[in-house]
Amino acid sequence: MNVLVVLPILIPLVSAVATLLLRSSVRAQNVIGMTGSALLLAASIWLLTAVHDGGILVQQLGGWKAPFGISFVADTFSALMVLLTGVTGLAIAIYSAAAVDEPRRRFGYFPLLHILLMGVNGAFLTGDMFNLYVWFEVMLIASFVLLVLGGERVQFAGAVKYVTVNLLASMLFLIGAGVLYGKTGTLNFADLAFKLSQTANPELVNTSAMLFLVAFGIKAAIFPFFFWLPDSYPVPPAAITALFAGLLTKVGVYALLRTFSIIFVHDTGFTQPLFLVLAGVTMVVGVLGAVAQSEMKRLLSFHIVSQIGYALMGLGIFTQLALSGAIYFTLHVAIAKAALFLVVGYVARKRGHTALKQLGGLLRESPVLAVLFLLAALSLAGLPPFSGFFAKFTLVRAGLESADYVIVAVALAVSMLTLFSMTKIWGEAFWKETPGGVPSADILPPAPTVENPLVTVYPTLTKASMALYFIPMFLLVAVTVIMGLAAEPILQMTGQAADQLLNPTLYIESVLGVQP
């Protein structure tokens, strides 16, 4: 039994149960939350090493062989995404130990955090379309409760839009799965890849493909389904926003890359141009929305939309180099974006708001914070030698090789606008003087009331809590810097993942145990 394949799911489950049972103890929740996340990171590194050394790992649950049983599959792509979950989860758990107030802890913040991590890893490791739907629902429930945990009116407004649109995506997902099962008699990824490759009516399969495109497109926040994200992500505390930005939309990207490179490859003459159009419009709409914003969290939320377009660009070009760049870009942007939201969370903790016009003086007040923001922002903008440069360079090179010059031009222009918006934050929040010329001290929100018992109440900022704020920022920024400095070996690994997506024979053999 390849128990290692299911460890990234079991560890968060155990951590969620333990933190739920000990939710009355703040110290116990902190220790279990961080320990569980550290174990998840260790298991994800172990899994990636095993996949790299031994090939695709498969675990069939319940004693039923595929395609009839429940399959969990770890190839290079899914193992890399599980590693992303481990890194992001550990950073968020450490940050939460200082940033999440006691009322939210009592109402289940840490159990929900680990349930969400379990759902994300389940989506990355499942080998079955229906179970992918189940893991999507696990993530939706956990993320919705995290979104409304706080009881503020603005949170409910954002959460209603979030859950309504995502329930629509779930409905389309389920309809698509039903149509696909009716056509093929299976929902196992490997079995679907084999059977759909033999179909004589590719036009019929396009119906299911478009249903899944819309469902996964809503999850990934691509154009025109992105409108819910800028209204939902900025409203919860920064730890939750960073978790969502780093992982949730990336699950949608993962699902698109997985299904439209292994399963729905019967009519690439139709799907590739469609993805290129969606990629370009998503980039442009997202970055223009970001440029127009004057609040840090909302500006960065629009950039989540914009950056998704680069992953779609790789899927639209659909070459080994392009898919490798798309996977590398997805890993890079998740880390960089989570780091930026953690920095913004500390700014909100210090100043009580994140409105750019009312900020200033942060460079003089906290030079370390300014450097961390600058490194993550330059990486997001794609400047060398950071990971964002190599991610975008790989995609641009793939576009030039395939003569897709329009999407290359769009990607370069959007990258310039991304740099502009990052310099906008730098100039307003860090470089200019504090309005009024007086450095501001900590500004704490009011105490909770009977009407709103979950309003955020930050604990006193001590040296220990400051360390818990800054350690995860250092961790994520260090990862994005290392990804740039070690771009070649990482691109070799993402290239291997791309090869497996473009040549699914080994995947099918590993899961079904037969040669297609």
Residue-range definition of the domain harbouring residue 254: 3-437+463-503
SS3 for 77-130 is HHHHHHHHHHHHHHHHHHHHHHHCCHHHHHCCHHHHHHHHHHHHHHHHHECEHH
Predicted local confidence at residue 19, as pLDDT: 92
SS3 for 310-339 is HHHHHHHHCCHHHHHHHHHHHHHHHHHHHH
**With contact defined as beta carbons under 8 Å apart, do 501 and 258 qualify?**
yes
Predicted local confidence at residue 152, as pLDDT: 67
Q: How far apart are CA 44 and CA 86, in angstroms?
A: 6
In a domain, 97, yes or no: yes
In a domain, 510, yes or no: no
**With contact defined as beta carbons under 8 Å apart, do 153 and 175 qualify?**
no
Per DSSP, 186 falls in state -
Q: How far apart are CA 279 and CA 291, in angstroms?
A: 18
Residue 22, CA atoms < 13 Å, CB-side half-sphere? 14
Buried b (16+ CB within 10 A) or exposed e, 50-89: bbeeeebbbbbeeeeebbeebbbbbbbbbbbbbbbbbbbb
**With contact defined as beta carbons under 8 Å apart, do 452 and 103 qualify?**
no
CA angle 511/513/516 to nearest 5° reads 90
In a domain, 473, yes or no: yes
Q: Any residues with CB less than 8 A from the CB of 223 and at least 6 apart, and which?
A: 278, 281, 282, 285, 286, 305, 309
In a domain, 451, yes or no: no
In a domain, 442, yes or no: no
Q: What is the pTM of this model?
A: 0.92
Q: What are the pLDDT tens digits along the chain (516 aa)?
A: 578 999 999 999 999 999 999 888 888 888 999 999 999 999 999 999 999 988 899 988 877 787 888 889 999 999 999 999 999 999 999 999 888 887 788 888 999 999 999 999 999 999 999 999 999 999 999 998 888 876 667 677 778 888 889 899 999 999 999 888 888 888 999 988 888 877 656 667 788 889 999 999 999 989 888 888 888 888 888 899 999 999 998 999 999 999 999 888 888 888 899 999 999 999 999 999 999 988 899 999 999 999 999 999 999 999 999 999 999 999 999 999 999 999 999 998 888 788 888 888 888 888 999 999 999 999 999 998 899 999 999 999 999 999 999 999 999 999 999 999 999 999 988 888 877 654 444 444 444 443 444 445 555 566 677 888 899 999 999 999 999 999 999 999 999 999 999 988 888 888 887 655
Predicted local confidence at residue 436, as pLDDT: 65
**Whether the bond into 111 is cis, omega within 30 of 0:** no
Q: How far apart are CA 17 and CA 118, in angstroms?
A: 12
SS3 for 338-406 is HHHHHHHHHHHHHHCCCEHHHCCCHHHHCHHHHHHHHHHHHHHHCCCCCHHHHHHHHHHHHHHHCCCHH
Predicted local confidence at residue 448, as pLDDT: 40
Q: Which of 391, 381, 379, 386 is nearest to 336 (CA)?
A: 379
Sign of CA dihedral 386, 390, 395, 401: positive
Q: Any residues with CB less than 8 A from the CB of 46 and at least 6 apart, and which?
A: 4, 7
Q: Which of 108, 174, 172 is nearest to 141 (CA)?
A: 108
Q: With the CA atoms of 191, 516, 77 and 141 taken in that order, what torsion angle do they form, in degrees rounded to the nearest 10?
A: 0
Helix (H) or strand (E) holding 135, with range, is helix 129-148
In a domain, 446, yes or no: no
Q: Which of 506, 236, 269, 472 is nearest to 376 (CA)?
A: 472
In a domain, 444, yes or no: no
Query: Hey, what are 302's tokens?
Result: 């629009």
In a domain, 512, yes or no: no
**With contact defined as beta carbons under 8 Å apart, do 14 and 36 qualify?**
yes
Domains held by the chain: number: 1
**With contact defined as beta carbons under 8 Å apart, do 335 and 472 qualify?**
no
**With contact defined as beta carbons under 8 Å apart, do 234 and 150 qualify?**
no
